Structure 1
Amino acid sequence: MILAAADGDPCAVEAMAARRAAGLPLELVVGWAEFGGRRIVVEPGVFVPRRRTEFLVEQALALAPDASVVVDLCCGSGAVGAALAAALGGVDLYAADIDPAAVRCARRNVESLGGHVHQGDLFDALPARLRGRVDILAANVPYVPSDEIALLPAEARDHEPRVALDGGTDGLDVLRRVAARAPAWLAPNGRLLIETSPHQTPGALTALTDAGLHSELAVCEDRPARVVIGTRRVGGGG
């Protein structure tokens, strides 16, 4: 990847190799990450999309192949939203993040697909006209418990923003906030999809159920990945 990114320039190769040796994630060294068959621009200070999160995209596409309105909350680089928009074609895509650096990066990945990127705290960043219209609400929320941040690999701990990692005491703080407000934004039979960890799965499913959503779990053992899915059934969920 470094040789390709440096375009054969020996000086650039040396500089990139030095940055990598100093611990910078490879994706940040070369300026992109592969996700969903696309090159996603990533920049220093922005969360690097994980390949396991492709499972969330796959689940969304399988459950809502005719989606017309897609929202990518906690979007980071916008990888999830970009992958969904590219696969679905012709959708109204909205992405949002509280971090200005993430918003700047997401615009580079999303606007070329006709998407819109907003800065703000979760749903507060979205246009009010989307309430009750969202077919796919993908939220790759931070879910690392606060006291486990120090245990993460150095590449994540030292080079990715804490706001993209820290999920509070039990790692579910942001997930609960998203679940509580999601029904008001979902279209009838709209889906909320959130990646989570094995030990957080019961609490995540409970949060979706408590919000009035029909909750279920999808698991991919190979990557590994777990996605909790909440559906706003017709006639319910506010």
Structure 2
Amino acid sequence: MSTADAVAARLRAAGSVFAEDEAALLLAEASSPEALEDLVRRRVGGEPLETILGWAEFCGLRVRTAPRVFVPRRRTELLARRAAALLPAGGVAVDLCCGTGAVAMVIAALASPGVLHAADLDPAAVACARRNLEPLGGVVTEGDLFDALPEDLRGRIDVLAVNAPYVPTDAIATMPPEARDHEARMALDGGTDGLDLHRRIAAAAPEWLAPGGAVLIETGRTQAGWTAVLLSSAGLEVEVDSDDEVDGTVAIGRRSA
């Protein structure tokens, strides 16, 4: 049995659905047999592959990751693509609850932001996002939602992209171990119904948006209607967009021009 087959067999036995693909990535990353054994041991132990590799693929980009920092999911590609599409050339874009800063990276790659800002409450996420975004001219700050943003952005944001935690507290125990055991709880827990942060964001977003600006919030399929109601109650024009291919759902609220 080849080394690749042996690694794939160990990963498959540990529950990996894409064992051969993961084995190839780990083999490419390892600098020695000892290093490979360490990587495989960590993956068999449930650590996210992206954290082990130190990067995640997202919308065709390689995003740096870090231990305990929320790993960008494929479903969030819908949020990133829609945000980039809505940003006017030279506009102001903000990635709130940014994690690694993956959404802001896509906005930088697909649009032409004049100002690119990202923020998160988790210091580890802020440090990771800075590594990803500062080379692109982005600014990353630490704080609780809008408290993290510079005051001069109030009323100027053209696109506010948000992937705030929206998993109901009681549902965290049912998540895969690689998420619930290896990512910060603050990056997952959305409160009793998963909408605690959506309520706060919807209530405050209008005063931060520029005329005609939009806030985009990733949400769950079963929660999308409620997220939309929150945005509508804040006086925004609302639509909900879903993409079955990536299993993503985004509620979008627009301020009148």
TM range (shorter): over 0.9
Q: Alpha-carbon deviation of 1:64? A: 2.9
Q: Which residue of 149, 166, 176 maps to 2:199?
A: 176
Q: Which residue of 66, 89, 109 maps to 1:43?
A: 66
Cα 1:226/1:16, change in 2 over 3 Å: same
Match for 2:226: what amino acid? Answer: G
State the TM-score, normalized to the length of structure 1: 0.95
Inter-partner Cα distance in structure 1 for 2:74 and 2:88: 21
Q: Which runs of 5+ in 1 are unaligned?
A: none
Aligned to 2:29: 5
Considering only CA atoms, is the larger Rg found in Structure 1 or Structure 2?
2
Inter-partner Cα distance in structure 2 for 1:71 and 1:59: 13
Inter-partner Cα distance in structure 1 for 2:88 and 2:44: 43
* Residue pair 2:228, 2:239 contacting (<8 A) in 1 also: yes
Inter-partner Cα distance in structure 1 for 2:112 and 2:255: 23
**Size of the alignment, in residue pairs?**
233
Inter-partner Cα distance in structure 1 for 2:88 and 2:34: 46
Aligned to 1:75: 98
Q: Alpha-carbon deviation of 1:79? A: 0.6
Note the 1:93-108 alignment, pairs <5 A: 93-108=116-131
Matched, 1:213 2:236: yes
What is the RMSD computed on CA atoms of the aligned residues?
1.1
* Residue pair 1:172, 1:204 contacting (<8 A) in 2 also: yes
Aligned to 1:87: 110
Cα 1:30/1:183, change in 2 over 3 Å: same
Q: Alpha-carbon deviation of 1:67? A: 5.3
Aligned to 1:120: 143
Matched, 1:197 2:220: yes
Q: Alpha-carbon deviation of 1:66? A: 2.7
SS at match of 2:70: coil
Match for 2:70: what amino acid? Answer: F
Deviation sequence 1:145-183 (CA, Å, 0-9, x none): 011110111111100111000000100000110111101
* Residue pair 2:93, 2:113 contacting (<8 A) in 1 also: no
Inter-partner Cα distance in structure 1 for 2:255 and 2:97: 20
Deviation sequence 1:48-76 (CA, Å, 0-9, x none): 00011111111122333535111000001
Match for 2:243: what amino acid? Answer: C
Q: Which residue of 15, 19, 31 maps to 2:54?
A: 31
Matched, 1:152 2:175: yes
* Residue pair 2:46, 2:177 contacting (<8 A) in 1 also: yes
* Residue pair 1:67, 1:91 contacting (<8 A) in 2 also: yes
* Residue pair 1:47, 1:160 contacting (<8 A) in 2 also: yes
State the TM-score, normalized to the length of structure 2: 0.88
